[in-house]
């Protein structure tokens, strides 16, 4: 790999994979040459219900996807530790992630990390009952199986 390769980071919880996740990762991969994906640790997920699947299982599922060059679990204490280690050119946020781009850009600047922050587009369902949300998938399972 050349020194001028564009390194991209995507990040998320990735609990119960669905086509929206794949859309996000494909779009992130298209923004550079190498895609690293940081998977949030269960104990760090505080903005929504904690993942159903274990950290390692979610990491292994993401690592198996074609657009992904490497997948790693986030740091237990500081979300910026893997970002500092990878030193990306671009961080791509999911279209519906709760993160504020300006807040992330400020934190990156404070830490001396020079990279752009972009937001991926959303993906519209391709058919009427296609689910593009882990929460909706879990709701459907509960409706039909519980």
The CATH number assigned to the domain holding 93 equals 3.40.50.620
Classify residue 85: in a domain, yes or no. Answer: yes
Task: Quote the pTM value.
Answer: 0.92
Classify residue 1: in a domain, yes or no. Answer: no
Classify residue 2: in a domain, yes or no. Answer: no
Residue-level pLDDT at 2: 57
Split into its structural domains, the chain has a count of: 1
21 is in an annotated binding site: yes
Classify residue 141: in a domain, yes or no. Answer: yes
Q: Average per-residue pLDDT in the chain?
A: 93
The residue range of the domain holding 48 is 7-145
Among 49, 48, 37, 35, smallest CA distance to 7 is for 35
7 is in an annotated binding site: no
In whole angstroms, give the CA distance from residue 82 to residue 95: 22
74 is in an annotated binding site: no
51 is in an annotated binding site: no
Residue 1 pLDDT exceeds 70: no
Classify residue 99: in a domain, yes or no. Answer: yes
Among 107, 122, 97, 89, smallest CA distance to 6 is for 89
Classify residue 48: in a domain, yes or no. Answer: yes
- In the numeric block, the tokens 């050349």 are attached to 2
64 pLDDT band (50/70/90 cuts)?
Answer: very high
pLDDT digits (tens, 9 = 90+) for 92-144: 999 888 888 899 999 999 999 999 999 999 999 999 989 998 989 999 999 99
Q: Is 38 exposed, middle or buried (0-12, 13-18, 19+ CB in 10 A)?
A: buried
18 is in an annotated binding site: yes
Alpha helices in 1-146 (DSSP H): 19-30, 55-63, 81-86, 101-110, 134-145
């Amino acid at each position: 790999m050349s020194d001028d390769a564009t390194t991209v980071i995507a990040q998320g919880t990735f609990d119960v994979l669905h086509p929206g996740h794949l859309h996000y990762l494909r779009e992130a991969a298209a923004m550079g040459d190498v895609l690293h994906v940081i998977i949030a640790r269960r104990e760090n997920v505080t903005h929504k219900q904690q993942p159903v699947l274990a950290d390692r299982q979610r990491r292994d599922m993401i690592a198996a996807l074609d657009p992904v060059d490497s997948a790693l679990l986030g740091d237990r204490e500081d979300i910026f530790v893997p970002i500092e280690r990878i030193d990306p050119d671009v961080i791509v946020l999911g279209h519906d992630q709760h993160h504020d781009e300006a807040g992330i850009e400020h934190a990156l600047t404070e830490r001396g990390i020079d990279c752009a922050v972009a937001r991926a587009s959303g993906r519209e369902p391709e058919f009427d009952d296609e689910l593009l949300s882990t929460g909706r998938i879990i709701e459907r399972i509960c409706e039909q199986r519980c």
